[in-house]
Amino acid sequence: MGYSNVEWLAGIKKTRQRQSVLSVLEGSSVPLSAGDICAQVRKDGEKVWLSTVYRILELFVKKGIVTKISMLNNDFAVYEMNRFEHKHYAICLSCRKVVQMDNCPMEKFIPQLEDNDFYVTGHKVEIYGYCKKCNTQG
């Protein structure tokens, strides 16, 4: 598996583990958990420890190239490349499948907040229900 050809981040050491984590994230169209990423990196033949993956993800989030998302029921967090496209997801309550949503409800929405001077910097939207498969199977 080839490494990212994105310019490497300034002032940060380019290690095998970091390149691998980045590569896995770039190759995925769905957000991944730290465990997923760790498993994938190992499957790609690279040694890495889970705690290291967490540290790398934390770094990437801080550098702004990765976004951390907390899914339904706050079981665990998932991460995805910050592709600067605004994305939200629908999650199947049965099989946990993550389905991408192509539009955003917040685009033309003005929140009516009790605190009039709340300065909004971001939002999180999540839809849940049942995917085609689970809905059909009952």
Query: Helix/strand/coil (H, E, C) string of 34-102?
Result: HHHHHHHHHHCCCCCCHHHHHHHHHHHHHHCCEEEEECHHHCCEEEEECCCCCCEEEEECCCCCEEEEC
Nearer to its own copies, 5 or 74 (CB): 74
98 Cβ contact partners less than 8 Å away, ≥ 6 residues apart: 30, 31, 71, 89, 90, 91, 92
SS3 24: helix
Least distance from DNA to the Cβ atom of residue 54, Å: 4
Least distance from its own copies to the Cβ atom of residue 47, Å: 28
SS3 16: helix
Binding site partner of 58, from DNA, its own copies, none, Cβ cut-off 5-8 A by kind: DNA
Looking at residue 138, the DSSP 8-state letter turns out to be: -
48 counts as binding DNA under rule CB under 7 A: yes
105 counts as binding its own copies under rule CB under 8 A: yes
Least distance from DNA to the Cβ atom of residue 102, Å: 26
- The residue from 73, 79, 80, 82 that contacts its own copies (CB under 8 A) is 73
95 counts as binding its own copies under rule CB under 8 A: no
Site residues (CB under 8 A) for its own copies? 68, 70-77, 90, 92-93, 97, 99-103, 105-106, 109, 111-132, 135-136
Site residues (CB under 7 A) for DNA? 12-18, 33-35, 47-52, 54-56, 58, 74-77
